[in-house]
Amino acid sequence: MNYNTGICKPNPDLYTPIMMKIVEIKDLTEDVRFFKVKSLEGDYDAPYQPGQFMMVSLNDGAGEAPFSITSTPSRPGSIEFGIRKVGKLTEKLFTYKVGDSFGMRGPFGNGFPVEKMRGKDILIVSGGLGSVPLRSLLLYILDNRNDFGKFTYLYGAKGIGEMVYKEDFLEMLSSDKLKLHLTVDKDNSGYEGKIEEGLVTNLFRYVTDINPENTMAAVCGPPVMYKFVVKELLKLNLPKSNILLSLERRMKCGVGKCGHCIIDYIYTCVNGPVFTYWDVIHTRELI
């Protein structure tokens, strides 16, 4: 397990956010919105890892909450989020326009162990909104393509309307940099031949000819998905420590102090949110 010993560099102290300005907004689905932010002074150049998260703070009473970073550190200058409107804070955030600003603390969490993944074949499996944090890893690998072996990406969403970054993914279908397979639980009308129908686990039939010892898998999706996806990965004989899962918990501080994300002796915000499947077996309640 990675243990994050860093301090959130750009922030003056643990809990004080710095202000970020929204420079781009677009809708990813009906209720998921993309926000690109820069620091008020200009480019944001503090380092982070794919899979890390930020605490986003609104200065209008709506509070603070954790959000995965959807951008890649290989494209510095700004930070991007893909945020679903699902609670008090996000409802307020969805009224924000380009030019508005909000507070941000971070980056927090361990992120994906990209150094360990280097040289390995990569298999990413995402469900629904799981593509938001995994986009960071996806773009990171594409930007450093020669550092990694074979690259396969499986993405399943509920329906066409719920698929985040749909246009980007459709475009990547023809890319020779990765093998990409897309599916929706039901009704793919209009996208036949590009997006399949069925659960994301059905896409594993495309994953053949892999060297399990040399493959690292990264998984993120709704809680219900992990069990089924892990089962498929184990069928492929992937070692448990090569299966990386990015998990969600309630978090109020991001630095292992408020307690909400604790599971046994693990603070999801500091020791996670990325865990190996061995961590999951070893620690009850992780998934």
Partner 1 sequence: MRVVILPKESEPKLYDVLNDLGEVWAPVQRGEVWRYEKIDSGDKIKGNPTRTLLPAKKLLLPQEINMLDFDKEKFKKASAEIPVRIILGIHPCGINAINILDEFYSTDFLDPFYRERKDKTILIGKSCIPDEFCFCDQTNTKIVEKGYDLFLTDLGDWYLVWIGSSKGDDIVKKGVGLFNEEMPKDIHSKFISWRKDQNSKFRHGIDLEGVIDLMELEYNADFWTELGEKCLSCGQCTMVCPTCTCFNTIDDMELTKPAGHRRRYWDSCMFREYSLVAGGHNFREARSDRLKLWYTHKLKAFIGLFGSPSCVGCGRCITTCPVDINIKTVVANLKGMEVKNEL
Please report, as ranges, the residues that interact with partner 1 according to CB under 8 A: 3-5, 7, 12-19, 57-65, 84, 86-87, 89-90, 103, 223, 248-250, 252-253, 255-260, 262, 264-265, 270, 284-285
Give me the least distance between CB of 171 and partner 1, in Å please.
29
Least distance to partner 1 from the beta carbon of 252, Å? 5
Distances 160 to 124, 167, 172, 223, 240 between C-alpha atoms, Å: 20, 11, 16, 21, 32
State both tokens at 217. 């898998």
Minimum distance from CB of 61 to partner 1 (Å)?
Answer: 4
The helix (run of H) or strand (run of E) holding residue 107 is strand 101-108
Picking from 75, 74, 35, 26, the residue whose alpha carbon sits closest to that of residue 56 is 35
The radius of gyration of the chain's CA atoms, rounded to the nearest angstrom, is 18
Cβ nearer to partner 1, comparing 104 with 233: 104
Q: How far is the CB of 5 from partner 1 (least distance, A)?
A: 6
> 180 or 263, CB closer to partner 1?
263
Kindly tell me which of 159 and 223 has the beta carbon lying closer to partner 1: 223
Residue placing its CB nearer to partner 1 in the complex, 3 or 205: 3
| Dihedral of alpha carbons 62, 65, 71, 76, sign | positive
Select from 64, 69, 34 the least CA-distant residue to 48: 69
Amino acid at 222: P
User: DSSP readout, 13-37?
Assistant: STT-PEEEEEEEEEESSSSEEEEEE
- Taking the least distance from each CB to partner 1, the nearer of 192 and 285 is 285
Q: Quote the least distance from Cβ 146 to partner 1, whole Å.
A: 34
Q: Which of 211, 185, 187, 209 is CA-nearest to residue 198?
A: 185
CB of 70 to partner 1, least distance (A): 17
Instruction: Give the shortest CB-41-to-partner 1 separation in angstroms.
Output: 12
Residues 6+ apart with CB under 8 A from 177: 142, 145, 151
DSSP for 42-65, written as a single string: B-B-----TT-EEEEEETTTTEEE
By C-beta, is 100 or 147 nearer to partner 1?
100
- Selection from 236, 232, 244 nearest residue 213 by Cα: 236
Q: Which is nearer to partner 1, 67 or 112 (CB)?
A: 67
C-beta closer to partner 1: residue 179 or 252: 252
